[in-house]
Amino acid sequence: MPDKSLGRIENKYTLRIKISGSGLADDGYKWRKYGQKSIKNSPNPRSYYRCTNPRCNAKKQVEKSMDDPETLIVTYEGLHLHYTYSHFLPSSPMEYSHTPKKAKIQTS
């Protein structure tokens, strides 16, 4: 019987990230939470997320570090098949500035 894992590339890696001011680790992608469960021997739960892009199969797991409560342990699985959402945002607010045109009013 052929091994189903052959030919399948699994991209899985873990990062330790300091918590930002919002309490989240912003990586530029949009995520939808689909689960959470308690972890044995840990006071903190683990949350499960999927990328919101319908064509993307990327997932991540997020939990607080037991060693440092200001650090998140984020495990990514799969690759994003699209750019980050921050890629489409302007680097400065001036990029979107424009001079509005006055509407022409026709009278008969």
Per-residue pLDDT of the chain (108 residues; tens, 9 = 90+): 555 555 455 689 999 998 877 666 778 889 999 999 998 988 899 999 999 999 899 999 999 999 998 999 999 999 888 887 665 555 544 443 334 444 445 555
Q: Residue 21, Cβ neighbours under 10 Å: how many? A: 5
What are the chain's domains?
12-80 (2.20.25.80)
Cβ atoms of 60 and 74 closer than 8 Å: yes
CB neighbours of residue 7 within 10 Å: 7
64 conformational bin, left if phi > 0, alpha if psi -120 to 50, beta if neither: beta
Q: Pairing state of beta strands 45-51 and 59-64? A: antiparallel
Q: Which of 67, 50, 66 is nearest to 58 (CA)?
A: 50
- Cα separation of the two ends of the chain: 82
